[in-house]
Amino acid sequence: MNILLTGGAGFIGSHIADLFISEGHDVIIIDNLSTGSTGNINKKARFIESDISTADFEKILRGLKIDVINHHAAQIDVRTSVADPITDLRANVEGTVRLLEYAVNNNVRKFMFASSGGAVYGEQKLFPADENHPKNPLSPYGISKLTAEKYIKFFSMYYGLPYSILRYANVYGPRQSLKGEAGVVAVFCKKLVEGKKAVINGDGKNTRDLVYAEDVAVANLKAMKSDAFCTVNISTAEETDINTVYEKIRNCFGSDAKAEHGAGIKGEQKRSIIDNSLALEIIGWNPLHNFERGIKKTCDWFKWNYKKN
């Protein structure tokens, strides 16, 4: 199949591109390189440097037969979304709607969307949070992801467009960029590679559900193959506090550097653990990497690759 992958030069998107190509699909990557890198792009993919939030991108795609749109391009920084909600809106909502219009006008067979479990649910009331958990996003970024979901469901209801919405937990792994709002794993790995002191915001007791990037790529492959119109969480359903995350990473690097504790960040989510049982039921996916296995592979990548970038 011909797959249009937006954000395919990014951390998560590049893993998805690699897997799709290994399965024999043709991948066309659109990325504006705001957070992505050409070094992440699979050599067998066709790359187009463009921004989906502008009307010009449709001209670039003219004449191409796209079977599936896998939409990962986004403004991903929560703090940027608070400081500049208009830019967040244009990238995450307007960009998605433009892609949806392209999909229905060009007979695209499926629309896939990377959403965010933590950002959409907000401060959880139930643990773990399933897909029916109340949606109370704490930032314009979370609001934009939820709004994009609703547009996708409208286009499906009105035009019959098949879709898969994947609500990711906190994704980590090789290639995670320090651009935008970097994940805590990448931040800690960078500090240890550089021999600098890591800072944990607050007491470090905040928890996250950390899912490995290669597992996320497999979830996308399984969702693409599924006939179900679905919204599913992609997570480990395991809860790890930030202090433990740092200690695991420090041990992988063989470092004795203790982290410092700084001020907590206002509005930061206290606990995040997301139920993944529906993903197993509907698309047949469950994570293959626990945190111990995933963090070792991630640390090894940073040891050998970070200073080269």
Of 3.10.20.30, 3.40.50.970, 3.30.420.40, 3.90.25.10, the CATH number of 184-207+239-272+294-308 is 3.90.25.10
Per-residue pLDDT tens digits for 190-201: 999 999 999 999
pLDDT (tens digit per residue) in 56-85: 778 888 889 999 999 999 988 888 888 999
How much is the pLDDT for 307?
A: 60
pLDDT tens digits along 112-169: 999 999 899 999 999 999 999 999 998 999 999 999 999 999 999 999 999 999 999 9
Q: How far is it, in rounded angstroms, from Cα 80 to Cα 87?
A: 9
Q: Is the pLDDT of residue 90 over 90?
A: yes
The pLDDT of residue 305 is 87
pLDDT, average across residues 224-249: 97
Domain boundaries, the chain: 2-172+212-237+274-289, 184-207+239-272+294-308
Q: Hey, what are 85's tokens?
A: 């909600």
Side-chain half-sphere CA neighbours of 184 within 13 A: 25
Q: What is the pLDDT of residues 168-185, one digit of tens each?
A: 999 999 999 776 556 899
Res 231 pLDDT > 80: yes
Is a pLDDT exceeding 70 seen at residue 267?
Answer: no
Q: Where are the beta strands (DSSP E) in the chain?
A: 2-6, 26-31, 46-49, 68-71, 110-116, 163-168, 170-172, 199-201, 207-208, 210-212, 230-234, 240-241, 260-262
What pLDDT does 3 receive? 98
- In this structure, what token pair is assigned to residue 48? 């187009």
Q: Which residues are known to be catalytic? A: 141
The pLDDT of residue 230 is above 60: yes
The answer to whether residue 309 scores a pLDDT higher than 50 is: no
Beta strand 110-116 with 163-168 is parallel
Average pLDDT over residues 49-62: 84
CATH number 3.40.50.720 given to 2-172+212-237+274-289: yes
Query: What confidence category does residue 54 fall into, taking pLDDT thresholds of 50, 70 and 90?
Result: confident
Tell me what pLDDT residue 232 has: 98
110 bridge partner residues: 68
